[in-house]
Amino acid sequence: MKRKAKLLSTISLVGMDALMMGLAFFLAYRLRLLTEYENIAPFPSYWGMMLIQLVSLLTLFFFYKLYHRQRVLSYIDEFYSVFGATSVGTIVAFAFISFIFKNRLDYPRLMMVYAWILTVLLVSVGRLVHNRLWRALQARGWGRDRVLIVGTGEVARMILQKIRYSPGLGYEAVGLVAQTREEPLKPPILGTVEELPSIIESKGIDEVIIGLPEASHQEILTIISLCEREKVNIKVFPDVFQIMARKISIGDLDGMPLLTVGEIPLHGWRAALKRAMDLVGAAIGLILFSPLMLLTALLIKLDSPGPVFYTQERMGLDAKPFMILKFRSMRKDAEAETGPVWATEEDPRCTRLGAFIRRFSIDELPQLINVLLGEMSLVGPRPERPPFVKQFEQSIPRYMERHRVKAGMTGWAQIHGLRGYTSIYERTKYDLWYIENWSLLLDIKIILKTILNLLTGRKV
């Protein structure tokens, strides 16, 4: 049943893509009729060209692995892949069309450009609809994979919670497996590592996720060996502090293999490019959000006594302090008695309006001014207060490496749900991955994901 469901998903996706590609080609033809004032052959004359276009695009989509099942591929990542595959596929199709139909049919260069643009847009929309429908079916239990999680710690339970709160992923979390018998075997713990083969067989497990980031290599290999006996898919949650997230190239020293770790990518012209994007983005943001910011300032004045803005010292690039600017969301002198403390999800110090503007991150909009001044970036690790930085520097490995780039209004950790009151250990992992894998496209992806999260009411 599961295999049939997966096969049906792939076939229906190919069908949806082909339908959208054909529609794009037809609309491109109609658009050409509207923009060119010459005798154009009727549409049936172009069926051969459309067939070449469809075959070329579907073949490129296959080589781009757009028909491989990927549960965690975001809509933005999928759009990037569709754009790349469509661009290359259109060039291939154009070459074949030029060769096959030369001197037999007019040479519709502009129509092919229309078809390329429309294909990117329509295929993206079609895949969005297909994904929504397929996730709705999976949320109702159709074609789900039964998943077993190895581990009982924070990471394992975080994976369990993520699966249970995201039924559209197509997973059914069966339970946890403990490393030893020191922990009582009670639900959702089903047994120990030694019992993995029997648990996998009795529970009909399709996939095992190993959530033991602190386990040794030998322990991981032992668990993998036990799982492989039952022919299940195996995934491992890594400890980012124990692996190299940077790009690595392979060289040698007189025949002895060596790994060369690439430098941090955010230097030189790349840093200048990021700064240019910050200036343009902050300027546009201030113009677009100025009415909302004026309204927010007025409502804060009416809601509670105190200033409209709130400034606080934070640590930025090279651990240098700067004053971050925010709309005031808490009552005046909120830390007069407690001193510096972390804000919580439902902080009692928030005003009535403050709880609302914090939910939608409206309180962060004045930081666009910090971006214009060069103290922050649109994207980067969120800045912390000096007392917390000193504390985390002593307890979190590689924590100070977060300050090799400017602090950001949003970041890789935030779009994955890791805000200020979540685990700083986990947030640091995400921040380091971002720093070591920076690209302009990654920044654009984070900004778009942040906007989507805010529009849908998710916290960023």
Q: Are 383 and 376 in contact (CB under 8 A)?
A: yes
- pLDDT score of 22: 95
Six-digit token string for 267: 């230097």
Average pLDDT estimate for 412-420: 80
Quick one: average pLDDT of 291-303? Answer: 92
| Residue reference for tokens 């403990």 | 178
The predicted-structure confidence for 339-349, as pLDDT tens digits, reads as follows: 666 666 666 77
Identify the residue whose tokens are 């709160």: 165
Distance (Å, whole) CA 71 – CA 310: 41
For residues 60-74, give the mean pLDDT.
78
For residue 387, what pLDDT is reported? 86
How much is the average pLDDT of 298-314? 89
Average pLDDT over residues 325-338: 77
Could you tell me the CATH superfamily of domain 145-237?
Answer: NAD(P)-binding Rossmann-like Domain (3.40.50.720)
- How far apart are the C-alpha atoms of 173 and 145, rounded to whole Å? 9
Q: What is the pLDDT of residues 255-278, one digit of tens each?
A: 566 655 555 667 778 889 999 999
* pLDDT of the residue at 305: 86
Average pLDDT score over residue span 80-99: 89
Report the alpha-carbon distance of residue 212 to residue 406 in Å, rounded: 32
For the chain, give the secondary structure using H, E and C. Answer: CHHHHHHHHHHHHHHHHHHHHHHHHHHHHHHHHHHCCCCCCCHHHHHHHHHHHHHHHHHHHHHCCCCCCCCCCCHHHHHHHHHHHHHHHHHHHHHHHHHHCCCCCCCCHHHHHHHHHHHHHHHHHHHHHHHHHHHHHHHCCCCCEEEEEECCCHHHHHHHHHHHHCHHHCEEEEEEEECCCCCCCCCCEEEEHHHHHHHHHHHCCCEEEECCCCCCHHHHHHHHHHHHCCCCEEEECCCHHHCCCCCEEEEEECCEEEEEECCCCCCCHHHHHHHHHHHHHHHHHHHHHHHHHHHHHHHHHHHCCCCCEEEEEEECHHHCEEEEEEECCECCCCCCCCCCCCCCCCCCCECHHHHHHHHCCHHHCCHHHHHHCCCCEEECCCCCCHHHHHHHHHHCCCHHHHHHCCCEEECCCHHHCCCCCCCHHHHHHHHHHHHHCCCHHHHHHHHHHHHHHHHCCCCC
With tokens 């496209």, the residue in question is 441
Gap between the Cα atoms of 225 and 396, Å rounded: 32
* pLDDT at residue 247 is higher than 70: no
Comparing CA positions, the residue from 145, 148, 189 lying closest to residue 167 is 145
Provide the Cα torsion 128, 132, 133, 136; round to 10°: 170
The model's confidence at residue 206, banded by pLDDT at 50, 70 and 90, is confident
- Residue 261's pLDDT is what? 55
Q: With bands split at pLDDT 50, 70 and 90, how would you rate the model's confidence at 19?
A: very high
Question: Are residues 434 and 407 in contact, defined by beta-carbon separation less than 8 angstroms?
Answer: no
Contact 26, 54 (CB under 8 A): no
In the chain, domain spans: 2-139, 145-237, 269-455
Angle of CA points 364, 412, 72, to nearest 5°: 130
pLDDT of amino acid 278: 95
pLDDT of 329 over the 90 cut: no
Q: How many CB atoms lie within 10 A of CB 318?
A: 10
83 has a pLDDT exceeding 90: yes
Burial grade of 20 (CB within 10 A; 0-12, 13-18, 19 or more): buried
Split at pLDDT 50, 70, 90, the class of 290 is very high
421-454: pLDDT as tens digits: 667 877 888 888 888 888 888 999 999 988 888 7
* 393-406 mean pLDDT: 84
pLDDT band at residue 117, thresholds of 50, 70 and 90?
very high
Alpha-carbon distance of 37 to 298, in angstroms, equals 56
Distance CA 47, CA 398 (A): 60
Distance, CA of 107 to chain centre: 41
Distances (CA, A) of 408 to 192, 384, 412: 43, 11, 10
pLDDT in tens, 332-387: 776 665 666 666 666 677 888 888 888 888 989 999 999 999 999 999 999 988 88
For residue 243, name the pLDDT band (cuts at 50, 70, 90). Answer: very low
Most confident of the following: 16-30, 93-107, 241-255: 16-30
Give the model's confidence band at 244: pLDDT under 50 very low, under 70 low, under 90 confident, else very high.
Answer: very low
Give CA separation, 51 vs 43, 56, 93, 294, in Å.
13, 9, 9, 55
